[in-house]
Amino acid sequence: MNETHTAYRTHTCGELRMEHVGQTVTLAGFLENVREVGANLAFAVLRDFYGTTQLVLESEEMLAAVKTLNKESTIQVAGTVRERDSKNPKLPTGDVEVAPSGIRVLGRCRHNELPFPINRSREADESVRLKHRYLDLRNPEVKQNIILRCNVVAALRRAMAEHGFLEITTPILTASSPEGARDYLVPSRKHPGKFYALPQAPQQFKQLLMASGFDKYFQIAPCFRDEDARGDRSPGEFYQLDMEMAFASQEDVFAVLEDVLPPIFAQYGKYSTASRAPFVRIPYLEAMEKYGSDKPDLRIDLTVADATELLGTCGFPPFEGNAVKAVVVSDFSGTRKQIDQLCADVEVQAGEKAYWFRLDEKGELVGGISKFLQERKDQVVRSLGLAPNSFVGLTAGKLLAAQKTAGVLRNKLGHFCPGHMKRETYEFCWIVDFPMYEIGEESGELEFCHNPFSMPNGGLEILQKAASGQADPLSITAYQYDLVCNGVELSSGAVRNHDPEIMIEAFQLVRLGEEDVKAKFPAMYNAFTYGAPPHAGIAPGVDRMVMLLSGEDSIREVIPFPMNKNAQDLMMGAPGAVEQRQLDELNIACTRTEDDAQA
């Protein structure tokens, strides 16, 4: 028996073909549409998960049965398959129709008006879509993203198993840990005043598995972080392909993902080509200097050039005493209006201004800040390698700000100029050699730049030199790496610091002593004192991966039941108030409500 055939149906709505003509069948699905064309003739469309089938209603009894129903009611139809007079080549079932002999209502839709037309739900306001997500998901176009997600997750599981990884689930209720984002806390009824935390990632557990003697671990892991939403980040919860390998180096991790991901992207992606191993590797400092970003989109052939020496003293006030970066575009045909809009978009995204000038077809510097450059025209043309009809976008500021703004400018120009972007492909790269430490924007003191459990390049020796003043902590790099695809950071990973002595030395540089390490990470510290193997791992984001594969701009389009930008589940009404009894059981007193916060 076909697995899709049940007590309610002999065939699905996407299954019937010419070979079924003359057969008696039973279908079940949603009543999508009814179109009356005469006194005793109407056509209806029945839709289920698998497709649609046209019904032809030719008797008063069948017409009466359907006329009483609102759209989206679920019905069971028994009838005979026959060849359509007017065929629809756009539909898999477009050659046939079913003439019902009986219609049974399974689930009546009690609403005369739907919040939105099902097949056009993506045109509706997002808040309406999320509130009625169960209707939104009936749209085959929306549903297809969830099917894609299921197929990708299944393919990832198969590939990881084939590489010898064991899928092991780790706890959801755990201890709060300083991972970099805010925790979601869960109060304990049995231990008044104490809290569990939902894991921001299974980081410590997977490292403990390595210390426990497991060789290769993975899971499709749920992660919980109380962060603000972005186009590529969902608030609340997300999923990642979490993996860790014992007795492994950075190269071993790279080899696994370079083997696992390209075939999946090529098979399931909107684009049929993807980078092959080995992926391009770019040191962090080079990525910032050359692309203005630590997640460069390598489909764009534009690069960032340093123009500080060339233009820093040209007399244009924003350049004085600042780093100046340039992005040169050949064969540029944009209008002044388009350039102004592009610069405005850069400022909105980067928070800093972009400037420009052009070398026209006659070889003259025109537009933008060109009047400041006339005296050094030959030097500008020669240094930047300009040809007639070139456009030069410029940014200025402190080094990091100038770089990041140039990165935004590069991306905008790449998307604006078709000749400088190879769109229909997936371009992977590794960003390597991240700084171990940075100066915190808020604290003004030395902090970990990324994962505090990473192994520093140079090991214990370089940390001791930094502690004694013989080396600059900001010059220390770590065995940390990011996997980037088409300008989207898919994952961060690292070779882990598995030596307690090195771990303590690393934390001391950020003003945390041995007792602090023992208190904050007791299980991992203690486990490592029993002799832990070198290990490394990574965790590509599943949601971001599927977003790239589907070609969607928002991550919410590939999540079955996403929250909105304010971390609210409009469908379920979460977060919501609870009864005082529940608070009393948990020994919690609310000192401030949402109404108070908005007052």
The predicted-structure confidence for 252-293, as pLDDT tens digits, reads as follows 999 999 999 999 999 999 998 999 999 999 999 999 999 999
The answer to whether the beta carbons of residues 306 and 289 sit under 8 Å apart is yes
How far is 564 from 574, CA to CA, in rounded Å? 11
Buried b (16+ CB within 10 A) or exposed e, 343-380: beebeeebebebbbbbbeeeeebeebbbebbeebeeeb
Of 349, 298, 296, 304, nearest in space to 327 by CA: 304
- Lowest mean pLDDT across 241-250, 444-453, 481-490: 444-453
- pLDDT, tens digit, 9 for 90 and up, residues 322-339: 999 999 999 998 999 999
- pLDDT, tens digit, 9 for 90 and up, residues 147-158: 999 999 999 999
- pLDDT, tens digit, 9 for 90 and up, residues 41-75: 999 999 999 999 999 999 889 999 998 999 999 99
At 94, list the tokens: 């477009």
How far is 261 from 280, CA to CA, in rounded Å? 14
3-state SS, one letter per residue, for 248-283: CCHHHHHHHHHHHHHHHHHHHCCCCCECCCCCEEEE
Q: Look at residue 231 and tell me whether its pLDDT is greater than 80.
A: no
Buried b (16+ CB within 10 A) or exposed e, 283-300: ebeebbbbbbbbbbbbbb
Distance of CA 531 to the CA centre of its chain: 37
Please state, for a pLDDT cut of 70, what percent of the chain lies above it: 98
Predicted confidence at residue 177, as pLDDT, reads 76
Query: Cα–Cα distances in Å, from 386 out to 173, 297, 356?
Result: 59, 23, 13
* C-alpha gyration radius of the chain: 30
Predicted confidence at residue 3, as pLDDT, reads 72
Q: Tell me which long-range contacts 107-113 makes (C-beta under 8 A, separation of at least 24).
A: 107/73, 107/74, 108/69, 108/70, 108/73, 109/31, 109/69, 109/70, 109/71, 109/72, 109/73, 110/70, 111/70, 112/70
β-bridge pairing 535-538 and 236-246: antiparallel
The answer to whether the beta carbons of residues 494 and 534 sit under 8 Å apart is no
Q: Look at residue 228 and tell me whether its pLDDT is greater than 90.
A: no
Q: Look at residue 396 and tell me whether its pLDDT is greater than 90.
A: yes
Distance of CA 551 to the CA centre of its chain: 11
How far is 211 from 513, CA to CA, in rounded Å? 23
Task: Report the chain's mean pLDDT, rounded to a whole number.
Answer: 93
Predicted confidence at residue 180, as pLDDT, reads 65
Size of the chain in residues = 599
3-state SS, one letter per residue, for 353-378: CCEEEEECCCCCEECCCHHHCHHHHH
Domains in the chain with CATH codes? 18-107 (2.40.50.140), 300-421 (3.30.1360.30), 435-477+499-532 (no CATH)
How far is 504 from 528, CA to CA, in rounded Å? 12
Residue that the structure tokens 């040169």 belong to: 328
How far is 296 from 284, CA to CA, in rounded Å? 11
CB-based contacts of 90, cutoff 8 Å, min separation 6: none
Please state, for a pLDDT cut of 90, what percent of the chain lies above it: 84
The answer to whether the beta carbons of residues 223 and 197 sit under 8 Å apart is no
Handedness of CA 63, 65, 70, 72 (dihedral sign): negative
Q: Look at residue 572 and tell me whether its pLDDT is greater than 70.
A: yes
Task: Provide mean pLDDT across the span 419-442.
Answer: 92
How far is 233 from 238, CA to CA, in rounded Å? 8
Query: Cα–Cα distances in Å, from 597 out to 236, 294, 591?
Result: 20, 37, 11
Predicted confidence at residue 355, as pLDDT, reads 97
3-state SS, one letter per residue, for 72-94: CCEEEEEEEEEECCCCCCCCCCC
Buried b (16+ CB within 10 A) or exposed e, 113-136: ebebebeebeebebeebbbbbebb
Predicted confidence at residue 39, as pLDDT, reads 77
**Strand arrangement, sheet containing 365-366:** 304-306, 323-329, 390-397, 355-359, 365-366
